[in-house]
Structure 1
Amino acid sequence: MAVHGRASFTVSSEHDAEQKRRRLGLTLWITGMILGVVLNLFYTFRGILATQGSIIPAMFVGAVFAFPPLVVYLFIPSVLDRFDPEPWWCLLMAFLWGAVAATGFSILINSTVHDVFSAAFGPKVGDLVSASVSAPFAEEFWKGLAVLGFFYFMRREFDGIVDGIIYATFTALGFAAVENVLYYAKAAMEGGDVLAGTFVLRGVFTPWLHPLFTAMTGIGFGLARESTKSSTRLLAPVAGYMIGVSLHAMWNFLPTALGSAMGAVFVPWLLLWLLFVAAFSVLIIALVVRKGRLIRENLRDEVLLGHLSQEEIDLVCSPVGRLRCTFGWRGASGRNFIRAGARLGLSKWHTARAMKGQKRTISADFIIPLRDEIKQHRAAMMARAPRY
């Protein structure tokens, strides 16, 4: 009885600690968003004053070109994250952080660096340092903070490398959308041909560069989440961030340094980066497949325990399982069943790794509740079954 009471107290204490962590994370997120709004408004008004208001209609044009393509951009990572999709509100928080907080703090740092170096060494040096040094470090830092936030404050919703990439992608797409408004607005002020060329480059050929850069940080935190080694947990996020910064700096440096002479090497430069994106896309697909295999491996003994049938495991681990439920009689109950099954497999995986490293994990506390949740969703599915 005493042992049971002590275990219950431990579970309760860990749950309370998790709730405190989440509340602190939400407080920091709201604070960052408020400051981001203030900074964005300040620099927007500064731009309006500098152009005597002529940029206002151009910004509307920029918004028209920047935001509608997000329907496609956001759909792709949502489809890839098929086995255990992140909660929509987490993805919304990540997107808004990138669009508001990360852009606000980044423009503050980049503008300050540009002004200082321009005053000291001239505008060309200011442009080069701001674009090739300040922007990569500052932008990847502020975007990466969103991934760090989910990794630390929302640990229940952060399982590994795939989740790190998804959160990084949504954050980066939010950042890129707001950044594109400014690029398209400036291009619109120069003429329709310039706007069309800018949209083709940023909106068609390279919309995935910001997600590629920030995903390196996401992979770093994902490796830290999956590892039990203290050195990996500490160094992987730093290494991921530095790789993202390096890629970002490489992309920004050559066009800024060469200026109008960039045309001679533009096509091979663009093709090189498209190959980067293609290779990264293959990596993501491989990681998603790996995640499905991990879920299946950790659910196998649930058949012997009588909690799942083999057919149900096949549904949970099917690449089109959620689609089958959406268009079949299982509906939302089936999608919830799949999510609970996937969460069970991942919770068991985290628990097994923690036990191997002789560490405690809150994931162990989710196993029994998830089994109960699976029973509830199975009953809801059967109630929806067609009658013959």
Structure 2
Amino acid sequence: MRLPFPPPRGAARFRTPAIGGALALCGLVVGVVIGRETGVPGLLVGLGLALLPLPVLFAAYRWLEAVHPRHWRELAFAFGWGACAATLLALTANGLLVRLLTDSPARLSPAHPDTLEITVIAPMVEETAKAAVIGWVWLRQTHLGHGVLVGLATAGASAAGFAFTENVLYLGSAFAQDQELGQQGIWDSAMAVTFFVRMVVAPFAHPMFTALTGLGFGLAAMLAPGRRRLRLALPALGLGLAMGMHSLWNASTSLSLLGFGAVYFLLMAPTLILLCRVAVSARRRELRVVRRTLTHYAAAGWLAPQEPQALGCARARRRARRLGRRAHGPEGARAVADYQAAATELALLRDRAGRGLTGDATDVGFADRERELLHRLWTHRPLAAPLTLTPDP
């Protein structure tokens, strides 16, 4: 069975291989640079260990995006940007700025890094490089920039990619150091210490920093277009907070155990908890908006009377996607996901119009976007609607 997906545009078919090739080239360059620092055995060991936290991180980002799911390529692009392009930009800019400001050569993982490098240069360069993809998403897909969930997921995926490559470097360098010194023990090895700090104590450090930038973009997208200054200020504020948190975290690693613990438990952990609460609250709010707003479209005959409640329930949405995959394979799951995404965007679009954050319901731009979303909804309705209304067994 062939499902009625909208045909891809020629430009999109061209851009995907071009962007993927560019990121792959950046990744190759970064891999060569790191391999020269760690050696091939260190590179392989670092690569294997750096993969460990990725399933947990990706599960968290997919949970964030479950309300209005995007294609997996978009999340993969954000991860690839962080792992390849942002890392290459950071390596280049960090080295140039260190040489310019200190007249000393910069190494990828220096044993005694300069305070200026780790507390000022690295946070500013790395957070800017990771955040570039968030701005790109907002410029390219403004209709998705209606809340904090897209910002948090995009920021988190980019930062997870950056942290992945950085973990390869630091774990590989620690392994190479142990091999060079003939270190056989576990407790006093550089590898054990590096693994504990980066993979156990702070696996969410980079995602948490960049999530502050994503939160700034998400909050800005929820404001009316007329509030231009605040819409520009919030992303800048988020980026500044990300740089500040990153700088403080880097500085804390050179403090005593008591000082490090104070930064970790009094600032880093509460910030992570706060971001998690913001994400949960935003997700619940969007589901409430879906349930409330879609009743207008159900009354007009676009949806069945029971569908707004089902489309506003996370468990019912998961069940519908699962049933779609079971009955029709991956294309069925994609059809149901696109149906849910169109319904969610439609609800949020009308909610924003009702609150005066976009043109009102008589605005031409609103009408064009609404018509496009209704077409997507109607295209997938014959397959997705029955699955959406399937009760729990």
Classify the TM-score, shorter chain: 0.7 to 0.9
Q: Do residues 199 (structure 1) and 181 (structure 2) align?
A: no
The 3 A distance-change label for structure 1 pair 233 and 356 is farther
For 2:136 and 2:288, how far apart are their aligned partners in 1?
Answer: 27
Given that 2:155 and 2:207 are in contact with CA atoms closer than 8 Å, whether structure 1 keeps it comes out as yes
Given that 2:290 and 2:308 are in contact with CA atoms closer than 8 Å, whether structure 1 keeps it comes out as no
Q: C-alpha offsets along residues 197-236 of structure 1, whole Å, 9 cap, x if unaligned?
A: 3223222231211111111111222122221211122211
Q: Do residues 168 (structure 1) and 151 (structure 2) align?
A: no
Match of 1:223 in 2: 219
For 1:358 and 1:225, how far apart are their aligned partners in 2?
Answer: 21
Match of 1:52 in 2: none
The 3 A distance-change label for structure 1 pair 324 and 37 is closer
The 3 A distance-change label for structure 1 pair 111 and 358 is farther
Given that 1:164 and 1:218 are in contact with CA atoms closer than 8 Å, whether structure 2 keeps it comes out as yes
For 2:205 and 2:292, how far apart are their aligned partners in 1?
Answer: 34
CA shift, 1:73, in A, is 1.4
SS of the residue corresponding to residue 307 of structure 1 reads: coil
For 2:309 and 2:346, how far apart are their aligned partners in 1?
Answer: 14
Match of 1:339 in 2: 341
CA shift, 1:297, in A, is 3.1
Match of 1:105 in 2: 89
Instruction: Kindly report the root-mean-square deviation, in angstroms, between the aligned alpha carbons of the 2 structures.
Output: 3.3
Match of 1:308 in 2: 303
> Is the deviation greater in 136-145 or in 206-215?
206-215
1:289 to 275, 281, 284: 284
Question: What is the percentage of aligned positions where both structures have the same residue?
Answer: 25
Match of 1:183 in 2: 170
2:246 to 241, 245, 248: 248
Q: C-alpha offsets along residues 54-87 of structure 1, whole Å, 9 cap, x if unaligned?
A: x321121111110132112111121232210222
SS of the residue corresponding to residue 68 of structure 1 reads: coil
Q: Do residues 371 (structure 1) and 374 (structure 2) align?
A: yes
Given that 1:206 and 1:274 are in contact with CA atoms closer than 8 Å, whether structure 2 keeps it comes out as no
Q: C-alpha offsets along residues 95-133 of structure 1, whole Å, 9 cap, x if unaligned?
A: 100000100010112223334555469999952111100
Q: Which amino acid aligns with 1:129?
A: L
SS of the residue corresponding to residue 310 of structure 1 reads: coil
1:323 to 318, 340, 347: 318
Match of 2:44 in 1: 60
Question: TM-score, normalised to structure 2's length?
Answer: 0.79
Given that 1:220 and 1:240 are in contact with CA atoms closer than 8 Å, whether structure 2 keeps it comes out as yes
Q: Which structure shows the bigger proportion of residues in helix conformation?
A: 1
Given that 1:102 and 1:142 are in contact with CA atoms closer than 8 Å, whether structure 2 keeps it comes out as yes
Given that 1:61 and 1:184 are in contact with CA atoms closer than 8 Å, whether structure 2 keeps it comes out as yes
Q: Which amino acid aligns with 1:371?
A: L
Given that 2:27 and 2:85 are in contact with CA atoms closer than 8 Å, whether structure 1 keeps it comes out as yes
Match of 2:78 in 1: 94
Q: Which amino acid aligns with 1:279?
A: L
Match of 2:261 in 1: 267
SS of the residue corresponding to residue 354 of structure 1 reads: coil
For 2:340 and 2:289, how far apart are their aligned partners in 1?
Answer: 15
Q: Which amino acid aligns with 1:186?
A: S
Gaps in structure 1 of 5+ consecutive residues: 1-18, 49-54
Question: TM-score, normalised to structure 1's length?
Answer: 0.80
For 1:253 and 1:184, how far apart are their aligned partners in 2?
Answer: 20
Given that 1:295 and 1:345 are in contact with CA atoms closer than 8 Å, whether structure 2 keeps it comes out as yes
Alignment of 1:74-85 (within 5 A): 74-85=58-69
Q: Which amino acid aligns with 2:344?
A: A
Q: Which amino acid aligns with 1:266?
A: F
The 3 A distance-change label for structure 1 pair 364 and 129 is farther
For 1:274 and 1:289, how far apart are their aligned partners in 2?
Answer: 23
SS of the residue corresponding to residue 253 of structure 2 reads: helix
For 1:334 and 1:25, how far apart are their aligned partners in 2?
Answer: 26
SS of the residue corresponding to residue 114 of structure 2 reads: helix
Count of residues paired in the alignment: 357
Given that 1:164 and 1:222 are in contact with CA atoms closer than 8 Å, whether structure 2 keeps it comes out as yes
SS of the residue corresponding to residue 303 of structure 2 reads: coil
